[in-house]
Every structure is written in C-alpha cells, then in structure tokens.
C-alpha cells in the first residue's frame, strides 16, 4: 500500500454535474457573444437581408454625421460616471460614519427592499416628486413659491441629465451598500477601526484609511457593473433623461426600431461605439483608482487624524436618508395617482379618489403581471437549477471558483445591454427564431443567472460541510445529502436568491422589448411605453404593480421559511 496515492474524494462527480458549469457559462455568455457578433456585422454594412454586403464604413459615416452625436456621447459619459461616483461616495461615507451602529442596521433594513424596486418604477416615482407639477412643488405652493400653476421649468428630462443622475443614484446606493456590507464580512472592519480609534483617529477618517481599501477591492466589480449599467441604461433615460438629443443608448434603440434597414446599421455602429465608450471609461476609472490609491497613501502617511467627524457623520446620515426617502415617497405618489380623481394644482392630495383607473387598466395590467411572472418564473427555475448544479459540482470536486471565474460571472453585467441585445435580436430575426416567449426567457437568463449565483454563492459555500461528513458517515449518499440536508437547511438563502432572480427579470426592459419583438410584454415594457403619453394615472397603476411584482417574492422568501421551520429554532438567528 505504501506509495499508493489515493485520490482525495473517492466518490466521483457525476457526469451531469461535470457539464453544468460549462452549460451555465454558455447560457450566460453565449447570447452576449452572439449578440456582439450580430452587432458587428451590420455595423460594418453587412446586412444580407437588405442586399448589403460589407465590409464598409458607411454606417460609421452615417453615425458621425448625426448632429446630436457629441451631445449624446457626452450625456452617456457624464450621467454614468457622475451617478457611479456619487453613489460610491455616499455609500463610503455612510459606512465609514455608521457601520456597526443601530442607525446603520436600520438603514440596511430600509434600503434592502429598495434594491428590488425596479429602476423604471423608482424613476417614475422620482419624476412624480420633482416634476413642476409634482409633490414637492405642490407642497411648497403657493405659500413659498407663489406658483398657482405648474411653472414652465424643465426639471425632469433636463438637458444636463441631472434628474437621470438622481434617479440612478437612488437605485445604485442600495446596491453598492449591500455589496459593501457583504464585503465587510471578510475584512474584519471592527478590529481595524478599534485600532485606528485607539491611535486617535476619528471614526470616518479611521475607517477610510484602514477599512475602505480592503472593502473597495471586494466591491470593485460591482462598481464596474454600476458604471456600465448607468452609461447604457435605457428605461431610466427614457423616463428621466433629456430627449433632444437623448443619451446614446436611447438613440440606439430608436435606430434599431426604425423600419429603414440602413438606420439599423447606423444603430449597430452606435452600439459598437457605446461598447467602446464603456470600455474606455472603465479604463479611465481603473487609472483613477490608481491615482486615488496614491493620493490616499500619501494621506494615510500624513498621519492626519481627521476633524469635523461629528459634522461628517451628520452629513452621511442625511445623504443616506436622501437616498431612501424619495423612493418611498415616489412609490406613494404612484399609489395616489393610481386612485386620483380630479387633482388640481397646487393641492397636495386629489380632490376626489376613484377606482376608475384601476377598472380601466387593471384587467390588462394584471394579465401583463401574469406574463411577467411566467417569464420570470421560467428564467429563475433554469437559473436556480444551473447555479445549484455548479455549486454542488464545485463542492464535490473540491475545486473552488477562481478569480477568473468571478470575472466571467460579472462579464454579462459589464457589457452594455445596448451593445449586444440589438445584435441578438437581428440574429434571431435572421434565423427565424423570434418566436416570443422562449428567446425572451433566455435573454433574461443572461442577467438572472449572475445575480442568482452571486446571491446564493456565499451562503451556500459557508455552510458547515461537517454536516455532510456526518450525514455520509450515517450512510447517506451525496445525492441524499444534497436533497435532504443541504437544500432544506439553506432554504432561506435559496428562496432569497430566487426572489433576487425574479426582481432582476421583472426589471428587464431592453431584453424584453427587443427580443420579445412586441409579442411579449411585461409590466416594465408597458410602464415605460406609457412614459411618453404622460397618463400619470395609468403609469401609477403599472409602476405600482411592477414594484409589487418585484417585492412579492421577497415577502415569500421572508415568510415561507418562518412558517415551514416554525418549530425549528436552529434555523432562525
């Protein structure tokens, strides 16, 4: 027996499990790569359906001769970069000033449900608040402003994109905050902060100097996702962004929807430009990180202990409230508009309430909600199957996912949607596979998969594997351990991951619009379609149901384990 090396895990990984990681990668990256290919071809003038064979630079000539290009490009960059930088600053300040305290836990609880509020609903809510005839103007009129009719101001859809930036910040602050909290689990911030405070550092300065560098390393990829998303978002830009010209991504969607095929090639060229812009900005951001790190190092070595800690903490708390309160009031204003009768300016509440809007739009809206859940449900079931398979394969083979794997997981979120979804659409059209529901589900899967994986990965991996050792020592096969021990014990994180998946799917605008080709409509596509019409009551109905569709699964994820395991105290903290 001497010299015989026994392989570590004698039970082999079943063949099915072996293929699941590859299949997952294919489901996630296949559509992205295919879509990019489908963008490159028409961008260089290759559209066989229109009798055009490339390569030619005509689409790019057409793009560069469009008068609005400079402004559209500038808007994409400024909104994306400013929204990301602002969100990151707010999150860093809040965490530096308050992590580990009671107000911080409260903020964490208040902001987590906001994470699932779809971007479009949050944007509508904000618009209803800040518009010239919105709640804020009504509350201040006529007593303070002196307005007895809505002023002629371009607050929403302002040319600088400020409203759009605000809308993005409202949604990205909860996202980055929760990512930061998750990252802090590994950084042991409390001890570092204690040491810094013992050395005489203020709380904020101490945290920024000792904890932030480690935390930022962990949240770097989520920050990149926020940049790519904010630069190329379409639904928020349609609702809150300027219109003449719009952001580059909105213009791309306009071109792609044009019946004139040559316009589509212009759109494809613009999509490639959008991709290039995102890559360029990410490169610049990367250099910016180096610069900030160098300056930060100098700041650390300067030994400044930090002053004005109290004021800074107050500001941080105020910023946190500023990120949470508008969304809540925005949702409330959606609700009020949906039941508003006649509502004259500057009254804060409508003259009368009625269910007329609900009786008129309700049946359609609830039918759309059914379709929304159908798409989301199928996508999430696929995603969960693949993710659980990958995690189980990882566990049984004993091989952890490396840094490269994490990058691959984030890749579909880093490629701007407007760069590959239009290409995917034209590819599907070419092969005649544009049959509605199925392609939409797979397009949603591209975005649902990474989020389900990211949500479930940590709790799944931090499960005490000695439970499995004991179960196997009791004679249970690996399959039995998976179904009867690990899955039931991890019911709560599994349901939460499913809720995350549903929320992601519900919020998808472009994937549904383009790949569905008008034959699949979800609450999000319907709500955004209402944006141009300006029927606030209808928008209220759809925005509210959209939010409900995203929040309901989270409620289930909270309530179900409590009911199922009501007599099992060991499963509740």
Partner 1 sequence: MNKGLTLQKVCIMRDGSPLIEVDHHIAPGDVLTIMGPSGVGKSTLLAYITGTLAPVFEATGGIALDGADISQLPPHKRQVGILFQDDLLFPHMSVGANLAFGMKAGGSRAERRAAIESALADVDLEGYADRDPETLSGGQKARVALVRMLLSKPRALLLDEAFSRLDAELRTQVRDVVFRNARERQLPVLMVTHDVDDAKAADGTVIELESLSKT
Distance of alpha carbon 524 from alpha carbon 545, whole angstroms? 9
The answer to whether the CB of 416 falls within 8 A of the CB of 275 is yes
- The interface mask with partner 1, positions 485-524, x = CB under 8 A, is x--xx-x---------------------------------
Using CB under 8 A, pick the residue from 5, 143, 144, 291 that binds partner 1.
5
Write the interaction track for partner 1 spanning residues 537-566; mark x where CB under 8 A is met and - where it is not: ----------------------------x-
Residues numbered 52 to 81 that lie near partner 1 (CB under 8 A) are: none
Smallest separation, CB 12 to partner 1 (Å): 9
Per CB under 8 A, which region of 5-13, 148-156, 341-349, 356-364 contacts partner 1?
Answer: 5-13
In angstroms, the CA 497 to CA 451 distance is 8
* Cβ closest to partner 1, residue 11 vs residue 344: 11
The 8-class DSSP code of residue 486 comes to I
Question: Which residues from 432-471 bind partner 1, rule CB under 8 A?
Answer: 464-471
Nearest approach, Cβ of 392 to partner 1 (angstroms)?
A: 15
When the beta carbons of 101 and 484 are compared against partner 1, the nearer one is 484
Of 6 and 143, nearer to partner 1 (C-beta) is 6
> Site for partner 1 (CB under 8 A): which residue of 146, 475, 533, 534?
475
Cα separation, 311 vs 360, whole angstroms: 51
Select 484 or 562, whichever has its Cβ closest to partner 1.
484
Q: Interior CA angle at 362 toward 356 and 368, to 5°?
A: 160
Euclidean distance between CA atoms 369 and 358, whole angstroms: 14
Quickly list DSSP for 354-422: -SHHHHHHHHHHHHHHHHHHHHHHHHHHHHHHHHHHHHHHHHHHTPPP-HHHHHHHHHHHHS-HHHHHH
The residue among 308 and 572 lying less far from partner 1, judged by its C-beta, is 572
- Asked if 8 is part of the footprint of partner 1 (rule: CB under 8 A), the reply reads yes
| 291 is a site residue for partner 1 (CB under 8 A) | no
Cβ-contact 331, 121 below 8 angstroms: yes
268/45 Cα distance (integer angstroms) = 9
**Residue positions counted in the chain:** 573
* Residue position matching structure tokens 């394969």: 393
Does 143 sit near partner 1 (CB under 8 A)?
no
For partner 1, the binding residue among 105, 308, 399, 461 (CB under 8 A) is 399
Quick check: 402 binds partner 1 (CB under 8 A)? no
Q: Which two tokens stand for residue 99?
A: 């992590």
Structure tokens at 43: 């961008």
Bridge partners, 353 (sequence order): 340
What mask of x and - would describe binding to partner 1 in positions 344 to 383, judged by CB under 8 A? ----------------------------------------
In the bound complex, what is the minimum distance in angstroms from residue 572's beta carbon to partner 1?
9
Question: In this structure, are residues 520 and 437 in contact, taking their beta carbons and an 8 Å threshold?
Answer: yes
| Residue 560 CB, nearest approach to partner 1 (Å) | 13
Q: Does 11 bind partner 1 (CB under 8 A)?
A: yes
Cβ 20 to partner 1 shortest distance, Å = 19
Question: The tokens of 182 are what?
Answer: 């998750």
Task: Number of residues interacting with partner 1: please give it, by CB under 8 A.
Answer: 39
Neighbours of 502 (CB within 10 A): 28
The 8-class DSSP code of residue 47 comes to B
Cα maximum dimension of the chain? 94
Peptide bond connecting 521 to the previous residue in cis, omega within 30 degrees of 0:
no
Assigned token pair, 528 = 């955004």
For the bound state, the minimum distance from the C-beta of residue 488 to partner 1, rounded and expressed in Å, comes to 5
CB of 483 to partner 1, least distance (A): 12
14 scored as a contact of partner 1 (CB under 8 A): no
Which one of residues 51, 398, 402, 432 is an interface residue with partner 1 (CB under 8 A)?
398
Cα angle 130, 134, 140 (rounded to 5 degrees) comes to 90
Cβ 384 to partner 1 shortest distance, Å: 19
Of 54, 472, 529, 552, the one binding partner 1 (CB under 8 A) is 472
Identify which of residues 299 and 463 has a Cβ nearer to partner 1 in the complex: 463
- Closest by CA position to 94, among listed 213, 217, 180, 197: 180
Nearer to partner 1, 322 or 476 (CB): 476
Q: Are 277 and 80 in contact (CB under 8 A)?
A: no
Place of tokens 């020592």: 473
Distance CA 324, CA 90 (A): 12
Which of 9, 140, 381, 435 binds partner 1 (CB under 8 A)? It is 9
Distance from C-alpha of 163 to C-alpha of 361, rounded to nearest angstrom = 28
* Smallest gap from residue 474 Cβ to partner 1 (A): 4
Candidates 51, 67, 567, 573; binder of partner 1 (CB under 8 A) is 567
- Shortest spacing between CB 393 and partner 1, in angstroms: 14
Answer yes or no: are the C-beta atoms of 507 and 550 closer than 8 Å: yes
Nearer residue to partner 1 within complex by CB, 149 or 399: 399
**Residues 243, 477, 555, 562: which binds partner 1 (CB under 8 A)?**
477
Residue 567 CB, shortest distance to partner 1, in Å, is 5
Q: How many CB atoms lie within 10 A of CB 570?
A: 7
Rounded to the nearest whole angstrom, what is the least distance from the CB of residue 481 to partner 1 in the complex? Answer: 8
Q: To the nearest whole angstrom, how small is the minimum distance from the Cβ of residue 462 to partner 1?
A: 15
Q: How far apart are the first and last CA of the chain?
A: 48
Interface residue with partner 1 among 6, 144, 198, 563 (CB under 8 A) is 6
Alpha carbons 333 and 349: distance in angstroms, whole number: 10
Q: Which residues bind partner 1 (CB under 8 A)?
A: 1-6, 8-11, 397-399, 464-478, 484-485, 488-489, 491, 565, 567-571
């Amino acid at each position: 027996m001497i010299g015989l090396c026994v392989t570590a895990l004698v039970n082999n990984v079943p063949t099915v499990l072996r293929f699941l990681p590859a299949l997952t990668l294919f489901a996630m990256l296949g559509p992205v790569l295919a879509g990019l290919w489908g963008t490159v071809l028409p961008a260089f003038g290759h559209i066989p359906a229109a009798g055009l064979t490339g390569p030619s630079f005509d689409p790019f000539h057409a793009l560069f001769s469009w008068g609005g290009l400079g402004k559209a490009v500038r808007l994409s960059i400024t909104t994306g970069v400013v929204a990301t930088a602002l969100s990151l600053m707010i999150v860093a300040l809040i965490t530096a000033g308050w992590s580990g305290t009671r107000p911080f836990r409260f903020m964490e609880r208040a902001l987590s449900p906001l994470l699932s509020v779809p971007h479009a609903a949050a944007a509508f809510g904000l618009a209803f608040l800040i518009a010239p005839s919105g709640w804020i103007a009504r509350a201040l009129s006529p007593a303070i402003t002196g307005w007895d009719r809505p002023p002629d101001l371009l607050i929403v859809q302002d040319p600088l994109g400020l409203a759009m930036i605000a809308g993005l910040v409202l949604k990205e602050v909860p996202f980055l905050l929760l990512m930061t909290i998750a990252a802090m689990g590994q950084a042991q911030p409390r001890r570092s902060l204690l040491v810094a405070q013992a050395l005489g550092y203020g709380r904020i300065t101490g945290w920024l100097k000792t904890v932030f560098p480690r935390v930022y390393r962990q949240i770097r990829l989520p920050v990149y996702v926020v940049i790519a998303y904010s630069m190329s978002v379409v639904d928020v830009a349609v609702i809150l962004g300027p219109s003449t010209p719009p952001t580059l991504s909105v213009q791309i969607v306009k071109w792609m929807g044009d019946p004139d095929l040559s316009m589509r090639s212009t759109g494809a060229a613009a999509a490639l430009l959008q991709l290039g812009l995102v890559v360029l900005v990410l490169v610049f951001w990367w250099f910016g990180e180096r610069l900030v790190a160098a300056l930060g190092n100098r700041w650390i070595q300067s030994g400044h202990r930090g002053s004005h800690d109290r004021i800074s903490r107050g500001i941080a708390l105020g910023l946190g409230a500023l990120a949470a309160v508008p969304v809540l009031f925005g949702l409330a204003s959606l609700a009020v508009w949906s039941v508003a009768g006649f509502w004259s300016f500057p009254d804060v509440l409508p003259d009368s309430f009625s269910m007329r809007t609900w009786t008129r739009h309700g049946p359609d809206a609830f039918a759309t909600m059914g379709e929304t859940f159908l798409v989301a449900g199928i996508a999430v079931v696929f995603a969960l199957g693949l993710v659980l398979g990958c995690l189980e394969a990882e566990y049984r083979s004993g091989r952890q996912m490396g840094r490269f794997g994490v990058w691959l997981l984030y890749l579909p979120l880093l490629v701007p949607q407007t760069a590959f979804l239009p290409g995917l659409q034209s590819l599907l059209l070419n092969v005649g596979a544009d049959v509605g529901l199925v392609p939409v589900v797979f397009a949603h899967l591209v975005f649902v998969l990474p989020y389900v994986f990211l949500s479930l990965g940590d709790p799944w991996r931090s499960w005490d594997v000695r439970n499995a050792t004991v179960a196997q020592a009791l004679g249970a096969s690996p399959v039995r351990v998976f179904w009867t021990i690990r899955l039931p014990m991890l019911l709560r994180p599994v349901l939460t991951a499913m809720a995350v998946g549903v929320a992601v799917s519900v919020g998808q605008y472009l994937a549904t619009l383009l790949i569905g080709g008008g034959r699949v409509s979800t609450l999000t596509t319907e709500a955004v379609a209402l944006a141009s019409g300006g029927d606030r009551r209808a928008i209220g109905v759809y925005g509210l149901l959209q939010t409900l569709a995203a929040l309901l699964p989270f409620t289930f994820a909270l309530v179900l384990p409590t009911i199922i395991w009501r007599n099992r105290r060991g499963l509740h903290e």
